[in-house]
Chains A and B, each alone.
Chain A
Amino acid sequence: MQSVFNIIFSPDFFYDVLRVTTPILFATLAATVASRSGIFNIALEGIMLIAALVGVIFSAYFSSAWLGLLFALISGGLVGLFLGFLVLKLKTDAILAGIAINLMAAGGTIFLLYIISGDRGVSSSIKSLVLPKFPLPVIKNIPIIGTILSMQNILTYVVLLSVIVIHILLYKTPLGLKIRAVGENPNAAESVGINVHKIQYIAVTISGILAAFGGAFLSMGYLSMFSNGMTAGRGFIGLAADAMGGSTPIGALLVSLLFGIADSMGNVIQTGIKIPYEIVQMLPYITTIVGLAIFSYSKKKQIEKLKSK
């Protein structure tokens, strides 16, 4: 028990938290951008999975992790656009379209993996590459903070930067203003001459690209290969985190960190205490449910308090 405690308060633990948070945060930001434009992007899970595989395949094909990433992002953007097409052009229900994309991704990635590598489970036979880890100049020399922040995967820095970028996008740019207006009252947006569908297409594409970053991180950073179903519900956790964070980038960061901590904790406990593996594996999902429950309870209390004052 003592050892678990020690591990949790070590810089290494927080290093791990950031690492684990990365894909969740990408998913959450992706959810934020889409839901702000009025489209509930439940396809995040599938997009991440597709991007994870595409990254592996193209990094091997071009022998370049960067080109692998690029193609992963393109695939994510395209699937996002496809979701937009289903919802906006063909008027499909966003939830149904999202579920369809997720199912297609789950099956399709296994199929593709099998065709290319002859293996149904993992891509270990493909010589894929990983994205580099990156020492932060100056910061790396600061004790503790250096250990936590430096030498993270490049995408971990990208995701932290994305929080700022998405915040600026939503609150400081005309596009963001339009996205928020479209999501909240499309009629009002249309009445001032905004092309509502165009804005929503842009938003789901951005959302797809963000999710793809998360997927690529999983197979080209977190692990160095693709394995079937490797997203393990992170897309859905992202949706929950988005709701809890109030659909704001800063909220997304905070809530994702919370999930990241839960996830890392799971890893630590697993090594420290004798609890069945399966239960430990449940930790992130339990955190999600508990988190959502606490969130809605406190909201309710807040409303009651306002009323009774």
Chain B
Amino acid sequence: MSDIILEMKDILKIYPNGIVANEHINLSLKKGEIHALLGENGAGKSTLMKVLFGIEIPEEGEIILKGKRVYIKSPHEAIANGIGMVHQHFMLVPSLTAAENIILGVEPRKFGLFTNMEKAIEVADNIAKMYNFDIDVRAKVETLPVGIKQKVEILKALYRGAEILILDEPTAVLTPQETEELFIQLNKLKEKGHTIIFISHKLDEIKLICDRLTIMRNGKNKGTYKTEDVTTEEISRLMVGRDVFLEFDKEKANPKKTVLKVRDVSVKNKLGNLKVNNISFDIREGEILGIAGVEGNGQNELVDILTGLNENYTGNVLIFNKEAKELGIKGIRDLKVSHIPEDRMTYGCAKDMDILQNVFSNQYGDEKYSSKYLLKSKAMETRAEELIDEFLIKCNSFKQSVGMLSGGNIQKVVVAREFSVGPKIIVANQPTRGIDVGAAEFIRKKIIEFRDQGCAVLLVSADLNEVFELSDRLAVMYKGEFSGVFTNVEELTEEELGKYMLGLKKDEKLEGIIYE
């Protein structure tokens, strides 16, 4: 078969902590195909790709590229062999600009010695335009929201013009429009003969764009199929090993008194641009307010304000009738406000600490787990084990450091921690980012359970299905304002919502956002 461009044969990868992440895996790619890699969190997808990209060295197995055996022992060698990778957890240098990150390692020069920064910016700008990504390439990466970081990461790989491109969950934080845009580009690359490996937990995406798919479970290959030959249900079953039911019923919300009151809140970013513009809304006990919107329209800034991370705003935020600014982060959390941050690696976890330390990082002061001077380790360990079971966190034990978990499992640790305090208000920013279908449904069910127990939920998500499925009310954010509010979400169509998200439609009067 001459159209096979790459073969991974019998790959065995055992991490130093004894976890067998890849158990004799075979994978073969045809030239010019888009090949999906599927599997639950912790199935070993990222590991297999890291092996291909030279970040992890396998214990056994070989890689055959265009009929020749190659030894890929570092990313450098992978790149030299025409392999590029977009990493699940971004590989970006925060203090450098987007342009500098894109050209890092392949810098345009002038006079042989100096970086040609003008050229670099031009090149970065051009490639961003070419792929229809709206990015200010002069901005430092640390100031960018996750969605934009994701785009920078994608551009970085595309700029290097890889013949085989690995995309590890590139769409986890993209909005549907952005994903669509990306797919157009991927199809173009495919036509030009590039081969693409695509990892995603969103099965509809895979149905849409992939030619073939390989399913992994527990470090093993469960078979490669032509996409048209398998249904979504079959895929789920192969992934999980049993039938998965994706639908569930949600009772109508039964909201009570207002617990979170936001009035005339505005905030500027460091550059002085207005990111949240005079927003007011209420959330009541027992309801879920969804916020939809294209990334970067002020959602994150809003979340930062509500959770106390940013106190640099005008207007009022009242949490249980107390001014948020006076409460501070600790005060807010003491009122049982939980926060699932968008960026799990920066704000969500301490990656070098173990699971136990991470799940208790918000409740060391709780007397269940701590006496006056000493921590009650027995109680903590028992509780940590409970949480691991409940949230299906795939790990060795609670002593495993969080950085060594798979991406989706890190997200589960964050969610477990935030849910375990018995929250009265949940501010959830992309709560199921990178989580497999089964676990994502579990988390959504949890959110609804909390709602039914009287918890107020603010949900920000780029995943429209999620927003539709969960929200009792839905507000659309566009350029720092609400462009529309919907109290009967069931009647809203995705198209209609899209118009509001893109600013094509805007309601002057917002009904049902404030109760008074």
Q: Does B55 contact A (CB under 8 A)?
A: yes
Which of A177, A190, A307 is close to B115, meaning CB atoms less than 8 Å apart?
Answer: A177
Bound CA span A130–B93, Å: 45
The complex places the Cα of A99 from the Cα of B450 at a distance, in Å, of: 55
Complex Cα distance, B104 from A178, in Å, reads 7
CB neighbors of B among A173-213 (8 A) = 173-174, 176-178, 180-181, 184-185, 187-195
Q: Tell me the bound Cα distance from A35 to B345 in angstroms.
A: 24
Q: Is there an interface contact between B104 and A177, defined as CB atoms closer than 8 Å?
A: yes
Q: Does B464 lie at the interface of the complex (its beta carbon under 8 Å from any beta carbon of A)?
A: no
* B95 contacts partner chain A, Cβ-Cβ < 8 Å: yes
- Give the Cβ gap from A307 to chain B, nearest Cβ, in Å: 5
Q: Within residues 148 to 194 of chain A, which ones have a CB less than 8 A from any CB in chain B? A: 168, 172-174, 176-178, 180-181, 184-185, 187-194
- Grouping DSSP codes into helix (H, G, I), strand (E, B) and loop, the A interface class, with mixed when no group exceeds half, is helix
Q: Which residues of B contact A (CB under 8 A)?
A: 53, 55, 74-76, 78-80, 85, 87, 90-96, 100-101, 104-107, 109, 113-115, 117, 156, 160, 311-312
Judge whether A192 and B311 touch: CB under 8 Å.
no
Taking residues whose C-beta sits less than 8 angstroms from the other chain, chain A's interface range is 20 to 34
Q: Is the CB of A185 within 8 A of B93?
A: yes
Say whether A181 contacts B109, CB under 8 Å.
no
| Of A174, A189, A309, most B-chain CB atoms within 10 Å | A174
Asked whether A306 is an interface residue with its Cβ less than 8 Å from the other chain, the reply is yes
Assess the B94–A173 pair: CB atoms within 8 A.
no
Give the residue of B79, B101, B115 whose beta carbon is less than 8 angstroms from that of A174.
B115
Assembled-state Cα–Cα distance A177/B114 (Å): 10
Q: By the criterion CB–CB under 8 Å, are A193 and B115 in contact?
A: no
A302 at the interface (CB under 8 A from B): no
Known: A187-B91, A193-B76, A193-B79. A174 touches B96 (CB 8 A): no
Does the CB pair A190–B74 fall under 8 Å?
Answer: yes
Provide the bound-state CA to CA distance between A194 and B101, in Å: 12
Bound Cα distance from A190 to B55, whole angstroms: 9
Which residues on A sit within 8 Å (CB–CB) of B85?
191
Residue in chain A with minimal CB distance to B90: A188
User: Given the complex, which residues of B lie within 8 Å of A180, measured CB to CB?
Assistant: 93, 95-96
Contacts A177-B100, A185-B93 given: A192-B156 contact, CB under 8 Å?
A: yes
Q: How far is the CB of A24 from chain B (nearest CB, A)?
A: 26
Closest CB-CB distance, B327 to chain A, in whole Å?
A: 13
Mark interface residues in A274-309 (1 if CB within 8 Å of B CB, else 0): 000000000000000000000000000000001111
What residues of A have a CB within 8 angstroms of the CB of B95 in the complex? 180, 184
Residue of A nearest to B113 (CB): A173
Residues of chain A lying within 8 A (CB to CB) of residue B101: 188
Q: Across the two chains, which residue of chain B brings its CB closest to A192? A: B105
B104:A189 contact, CB within 8 angstroms? yes
Q: How far is A308 from B326 in the complex, measured between Cα atoms in Å?
A: 10
Chain A residues with Cβ under 8 A from B87's Cβ? Answer: 191
Q: Which partner residue on chain A sits nearest B314 by CB separation?
A: A309
Within 8 Å by CB of B93, from A189, A307, A308, lies: A189
Would A177 and B75 be within 8 Å (CB), given that A185-B94, A188-B92, A307-B312 are in contact? no
Name the one of B75, B92, B100, B114 contacting A190, with C-beta atoms under 8 angstroms: B75
> In the complex, what's the smallest C-beta–C-beta distance from A39 to chain B, in angstroms?
17
Q: Report B134 CB to chain A, min CB distance, Å.
A: 23
Whether A181 lies near B91 (C-beta < 8 A) is no
Which 3 pairs across A and B sit closest by C-beta, in order of nearness? A192-B105, A174-B107, A188-B91
Closest to A174 in B: B107
In the assembled complex, the CB of A167 is this many whole angstroms from the nearest CB of chain B, namely: 12
Cα A172 to Cα B53 with chains together (Å): 30
Which residue of chain B has the shortest Cβ distance to A171 in the bound complex?
B115
- Nearest-CB residue, chain A, relative to B105: A192
Chain A: minimal CB distance from B363 (Å): 24
Q: Count chain B CB atoms within 10 A of each CB in A177, A178, A189 and give the residue with the most.
A: A177
Q: Are A185 and B91 in contact (CB under 8 A)?
A: yes
Q: Taking A181-B96, A185-B91, A188-B92 as contacts, is the C-beta distance between A193 and B75 under 8 angstroms?
A: yes
Set B55, B75, B94, B312: member contacting A306, Cβ < 8 A: B312
Q: Which residue of A lies closest to B74 (CB)?
A: A190
Which residues of B have CB within 8 Å of A192?
Answer: 75, 79, 91, 104-106, 156, 160
Q: In the complex, A184→B141 CA distance in Å?
A: 13
**Nearest-CB distance from A216 to chain B (Å)?**
26
Asked whether B311 lies within 8 Å of A308 as measured between CB atoms, the reply is yes
A172 shortest CB reach to chain B, Å: 5
Q: How far is the CA of A188 from the CA of B90 in the complex (A)?
A: 8
CB-nearest residue of chain B relative to A181?
Answer: B93
Residues of A close to B104: CB separation below 8 A:
177-178, 181, 188-189, 192, 194
* B117: chain A residues within 8 A (beta carbon): 172
If A173-B115, A193-B76 are given as contacts, then 18 extra A-B residue pairs at C-beta distance below 8 Å, sorted by A number, are A173-B113, A178-B104, A180-B93, A180-B96, A181-B104, A188-B101, A189-B93, A189-B104, A190-B75, A191-B75, A192-B104, A192-B105, A192-B106, A192-B160, A193-B105, A195-B76, A308-B311, A308-B312
